[in-house]
Amino acid sequence: DDGRVFNFAAGPATLPASVLKQAQEELYNWRGSGMSIMEMSHRGKEFTSIIQNAEASLRSLLKIPDDYAVLFLQGGATTQFASVPLNLCKPEDTADYIVSGSWSDKAFKEGQKYCTAKVVWSGKSNKYTDLPQPGELSLTPGARFLHICANETIHGVEFKDYPSPGGDTLLVADMSSNFCSKPVDVSKFALIYAGAQKNIGPSGVTIVIVRKDLLGNSQKITPVMLDYKIHADNNSLYNTPPCFGIYVCGLVFSDLLEKGGLRAAEQRNIEKAKLLYDAIDASNGFFKCPVKKEVRSLMNVPFTMETPDLEAAFLKEAAAGGMVQLKGHRSVGGIRASIYNAMPKAGVEKLVALMKSFQERHA
């Protein structure tokens, strides 16, 4: 026992133990360079190899076509809420947003500042427990893009198939909380963005994958740091990038490749999520997951119990057993287990065992 807990946090979140240990081993003197990555020039040959390898591994994992740029940026996914319309739209263009939870709602609200943003579907009246059926969407003809949040981290709803907007409308997805958790057909999207701090690394790195033909049309007011073309032309080295974070992302990408790529990651994630949802569904209502079965997230599993007191008692027992960060987001309450790529199956099994024993003692 090395004192590590099972960390069910929604992000920053648990990382693979092997990656942390490698980063620790290489921290003081990176591969004989005589210095740590934090101390290196971002333009030196060492860091150049680090960022190039990270990009190559990500391209190989997600099978990213050559006509897409991969950018390592800063500012979190929240910055992308502005960058997307600033780069893809004229101020008078319409952009459609599916609002399936708190994060897509934030994206919509920020988008309104830089284009004519329209909500084409909202799950709010159902407390964000559902997603639109394909036929249910009426999109704006001529909309520049359709924005979706592939996985709502707080509400636990995840797209299993993606809408195809049709016409010239571009599909844009916030994949912050399910990035690299399963294979994705990148060619269906004009742009994918994700903050690193759930599945792939530390906070401070934001990944943008964008079709190259869309670059170079940003609005006049676009700050240089938000202009994709500037970053693409400079291989993400226009200014000083988050070097150490990019290095850790690269280690995680290599680790995922070694463990069989994203198809294998998806299989592990399905297995873990099934353990947890089955336990909830078999509890005769002692535990309840509000999300419609077809759209339940493989990454973030929210559930509730009869009373806040019971939930508090459960969280306390979980913490005593080395299972932490299970409290639901402050906006929705309840319990939330985030079970990203790096959460071991043993962690989910331990949580399920506690759920069963807790129910026996309290039902």
Whole-Å CA distances, 26 to 10, 19, 38, 255, 330: 27, 11, 11, 16, 37
* Active-site residue flag, 30: no
Smallest gap, in angstroms, from Cβ of residue 154 to ligand PMP?
A: 7
Smallest gap, in angstroms, from Cβ of residue 87 to ligand PMP?
A: 17
Using CB under 6 A as the criterion, what x/- string covers residues 289-318 for binding ligand PMP?
Answer: ------------------------------
CB closer to ligand PMP, 177 vs 341: 177
Smallest gap, in angstroms, from Cβ of residue 233 to ligand PMP?
A: 24
Smallest gap, in angstroms, from Cβ of residue 287 to ligand PMP?
A: 23
Binds ligand PMP by CB under 6 A, chosen from 6, 8, 9, 11: 11
Binds ligand PMP by CB under 6 A, chosen from 54, 64, 77, 171: 77
Identify residues 262-281 at the interface with ligand PMP (CB under 6 A): none
* Active-site residue flag, 198: yes
Count of beta carbons in the 10 Å neighbourhood of residue 229: 17
3-class DSSP string for the chain? CCCCCEECCCCCCCCCHHHHHHHHHHHCCHHHCCCCHHHCCCCCHHHHHHHHHHHHHHHHHHCCCCCEEEEEECCHHHHHHHHHHHHHCCCCCEEEEEECCHHHHHHHHHHCCCCEEEEEEECHHHCCCCCCCHHHCCCCCCCCEEEEECEECCCCEECCCCCCCCCCCEEEEECCCCCCCCCCCHHHCCEEEEECCCCCCCCCCEEEEEEHHHCCCCCCCCCHHHCHHHHHHCCCCCCCCCHHHHHHHHHHHHHHHHCCHHHHHHHHHHHHHHHHHHHHHCCCCCCECCCCHHHECCCEEEEECCCHHHHHHHHHHHHHCCEECCECCCCCCCEEEECCCCCCHHHHHHHHHHHHHHHHHHC
Using CB under 6 A as the criterion, what x/- string covers residues 187-226 for binding ligand PMP?
Answer: --------x-------------------------------
Identify residues 88-117 at the interface with ligand PMP (CB under 6 A): 103
Smallest gap, in angstroms, from Cβ of residue 284 to ligand PMP?
A: 31
With CB under 6 A as the contact rule, which of the stretches 72-80, 229-237, 271-279, 352-360 interacts with ligand PMP?
A: 72-80
Based on the shown chain and the rule CB under 6 A, indicate whether residue 149 belongs to the binding site for ligand PMP: yes
Using CB under 6 A as the criterion, what x/- string covers residues 153-192 for binding ligand PMP?
Answer: x--------------------x-xx---------------
Smallest gap, in angstroms, from Cβ of residue 182 to ligand PMP?
A: 15
* Active-site residue flag, 255: no
CB closer to ligand PMP, 89 vs 194: 194
Residue nearest to ligand PMP according to CB distances in the complex: 76
CA angle 257, 74, 249 (to 5 degrees): 15
> Which among 96, 103, 130, 327 is annotated as catalytic?
103
Residues with a catalytic annotation lie at 103, 174, 198
Q: Which residues bind ligand PMP (CB under 6 A)?
A: 11, 76-78, 103, 149, 153, 174, 176-177, 195
